Structure 1
């Protein structure tokens, strides 16, 4: 039986909610590493060691498994800005390193025998300008980029992921434009988590959108 193996940071919890309530047509398996970054996939010594965890869960290739990669929120909302300042590099340079980490891991999976890998767009940022409450917001307080700037970077990031998927004839799923408020140019209020200290999207609202995206891909395999 074919199933989705969804790997990524804590934002895959929206997928998990959708699976638990029966919105995703195919069975799902999850491998979550909180705080995982795309750029960290290039570094086995990264703090979370996510690349080792993901490799152990996905390799060797399991019969019926179809990987779904969901990363990038930590990169676009924090790490790209932080590393650019720390290493006196441009945002563009850090952006490219993050994309290279993400796509390099996808290519590794393809090289190890997966016929397809689903690339997903990063979740839009939610931490408000000047917000210093909540564990994650407090940890990211060194980044001064505005919510609009972080959102714009995330949208650009997702377009690069889409292009990389198209180049490899891989499925690409994304809910960023569906969760964006076109007037404010940031995440729409209805998709914010009911807990103001929680930077994840509302799992009910976001999960329903991710389910539709995955089911659409599923239909292509049918």
Structure 2
């Protein structure tokens, strides 16, 4: 049986917690690059050097391994908006740049020989409007987009990401339908971290949501 290799930003911790609880049917390993962005994959000299870490971990192709990619929350929650404000470019242009960089990374893995890759959708933002508790909240406060706007962008981002995966015959899954509140359109309180200032999903609820999504995949 193939094993999972979860790689991405700090939200990979949800998968790691799920594995600790024995929620996956396959063996799993993990590579977390905190702050990694999809758009940053086009630059090996980016602050996190995420593309360097990912390629070192996954290339050359690892036999019997299925990469599972988790990126995009930092893009949708901050970077796309910040670059649009700073560069004076449309948000749609920054969205397209992020998706293009992500797709190019997937093509690199495919060209290297991976026939099976799982693309996971970006998780929604969790930081409430006007909230400045914690380093991430303070850093993202420079962006004027509301929580609802960031969430709507995440929904759009995942739609585009799913389309890119489909074009390449790759598996795609996300958990937005489960974690978003139908009434408010933003993350449900049950899926917020109980720790003030933590922008990740609730550690237990997030782990179960992702485990269910991954275990449903036919691979």
**Counterpart of 1:208?**
208
Match of 2:20 in 1: 20
Provide Cα deviations, 1:26-57, integer angstroms capped at 9, x if missing partner. 01110100000000001111110000000000
SS in 2 for 1:181: coil
CA distance in 2, matches of 1:178, 1:158: 14
> 1:103 & 1:25 partners in 2: Cα distance?
28
1:122 match: secondary structure: coil
Deviation at 1:199, TM superposition (A): 0.6
Structure 2 stretches of 5 or more lacking a match?
none
* Per-residue deviation, residues 98-154 of structure 1 (Å, max 9, x unmatched): 001111101110000001110010010001111111111011110010000000000
Distance (Å, rounded) in 1 between the aligned partners of 2:80 and 2:125: 13
Q: Secondary structure at the match of 1:187?
A: coil
Report how far residue 180 of structure 1 moved: 0.4
Q: Where does residue 122 of structure 1 map in the other structure?
A: 122
Bigger mean CA deviation after superposition, 167-176 or 145-154: 167-176
CA distance in 2, matches of 1:179, 1:196: 18
The question of 1:79 aligning with 2:79 is answered: yes
Is there any run of 5+ residues in structure 1 with no aligned partner, and where? none
Determine helix, strand or coil for the equivalent of 1:186.
coil
1:69 aligned counterpart, secondary structure: strand
* Alignment partner, residue 70 of structure 2: 70
* Alpha-carbon displacement from aligned partner over 1:47-104 (angstroms, at most 9, x marks no partner): 1000000000000011111000000000000000000111111100000000011111
Q: TM-score when scaled to structure 1?
A: 0.97
Deviant stretches of 4+, over 6 Å: none
Give the aligned partner of residue 99 of structure 2: 99
User: Residue in 2 aligned with 1:138?
Assistant: 138
Name the SS of the counterpart of 1:29 in structure 2.
Answer: strand
Structure 2: distance between partners of 1:4 and 1:177 = 23
TM-score, normalized by length of structure 2? 0.98
Deviation at 1:203, TM superposition (A): 1.6
Question: For residues 25 and 213 of structure 2, what CA distance do their matches in structure 1 show?
Answer: 11
Aligned to 1:40: 40
**3-state SS of paired residue (1:5):** strand
Q: In 1, Cα distance between the equivalents of 2:203 and 2:101?
A: 27
Match of 1:159 in 2: 159
Equivalent-residue separation in structure 2 for 1:212 and 1:107 (angstroms): 27
CA distance in 1 between partners of 2:177 and 2:134 (Å): 26
The Cα RMSD (Å) is 0.8
